[in-house]
Amino acid sequence: MTLGDCWVKGKQALAVVSTLAALAPLGALAQEANPATDGIVKGYAKPWQLGMQDGATPVAMGINSLHNNELLAICVVISVIVLALLVYVCLRFNEKANPVPSKVSHNTLIEVIWTTIPILILIGIAIPSLRLHHLMYTIEKPDMTLKVTGYQWYWGYEFPDFEGVAYESRPIPDKEIDTTKRQIRLLSVDHPLVVPTGKTVRVQVTGNDVIHSWAMPSFGVKTDAIPGRLNETWFRVDQPGIYYGQCSELCGVYHYYMPIEIRAVEPEVFEQWIERAKGGNYALDGLSIPGEPKVATLQPAQ
């Protein structure tokens, strides 16, 4: 690559960055114009968002930290070093500066260095990654158990610790979406999953027909729902709010019709909801949440 080629590539990259910077305010306007995404709605991909959703559990926060801090720092350092080497090569070894090319084809020391350094980098990445994987798959003593079953095409939820609490969760049709109640097209459901904050929830996931995948980005959870197999994961969400996910395994023509909506509420509100759910009423309306009544009462966004 000649110095001229480097200059052209640099101008192209600058043009891309300038375009993204110009479009960024449009993303902010799109976000402000959507009443379904303000207030208590936390687990939701924002328009023009860069990066992952904010973590609401220890696992998700660990994933975000590893991605946004350690890995990003490593990538930046590598990119700067490689760019510096490319610039040096373009300037030092171009035809004008070096009319008589060297015939050297091997250098043992350099080959050892460029083999050893990547190994050390991978080891440095592996250590926090394995620590995070251990956290993801080590389920603490759970406060409650949740069973999730994937169907074509909806989710079924059961609470084995509370007799009689089991229901199906289906998306709200487009024509019935009400944004004043923070309902979001293709994400809001008729019967959201309700969980208590500050509690360790063991999740057992299976499938009824084909392979599905129960994924909640804000929780750092993605577990396959396989017929005849019971997979386990866990989460502990500390902030009340509304969180969204979707089936992330291609499961048929209505794969897009399997959203996941989770309402995280205070433990006392969850107990009230459980008593109501035992009677077949799975709505949150009318329950009060200290400090954040919007989660339960679903009042229009202000």
Domain count, the chain: 2
Do 202 and 283 sit in the same domain of this protein?
A: yes
Q: Is 192 left (phi over 0), alpha (psi -120 to 50) or beta?
A: beta
Tell me the average pLDDT across 282-288: 74
Question: Pick from 137, 153, 186: which residue ends a domain?
Answer: 137
Do 159 and 253 sit in the same domain of this protein?
A: yes
CATH number for the domain harbouring residue 201: 2.60.40.420
pLDDT of residue 100: 83
Give 81's contacts (C-beta < 8 A, 6+ positions apart): none
The string of pLDDT tens digits covering residues 85-113 is: 999 989 888 888 888 877 878 889 989 99
Q: Is 157 inside any structural domain? A: yes
pLDDT of residue 36: 46
Is the CB of residue 180 less than 8 Å from the CB of residue 301? Answer: yes
C-alpha to C-alpha distance for 224 and 205, rounded to whole angstroms: 7
DSSP class of residue 200 equals -
Do 173 and 276 sit in the same domain of this protein?
A: yes
pLDDT of residue 2: 55
Do 243 and 283 sit in the same domain of this protein?
A: yes
C-alpha to C-alpha distance for 149 and 215, rounded to whole angstroms: 13
Do 185 and 121 sit in the same domain of this protein?
A: no
pLDDT of residue 288: 52
Do 191 and 133 sit in the same domain of this protein?
A: no
The string of pLDDT tens digits covering residues 162-194 is: 988 999 999 999 899 887 777 888 899 999 999
Which residue has tokens 């490689």? 82
The string of pLDDT tens digits covering residues 209-252 is: 999 999 999 999 999 999 999 999 999 998 888 999 999 999 99
Q: Is 29 inside any structural domain? A: no
Q: Is 17 inside any structural domain? A: no
Q: Could you list the residue range(s) of the whole structural domain that residue 168 is in? A: 144-297
pLDDT of residue 280: 87
Q: What is the pTM of this model?
A: 0.75
Bridge partners, 144 (sequence order): 201
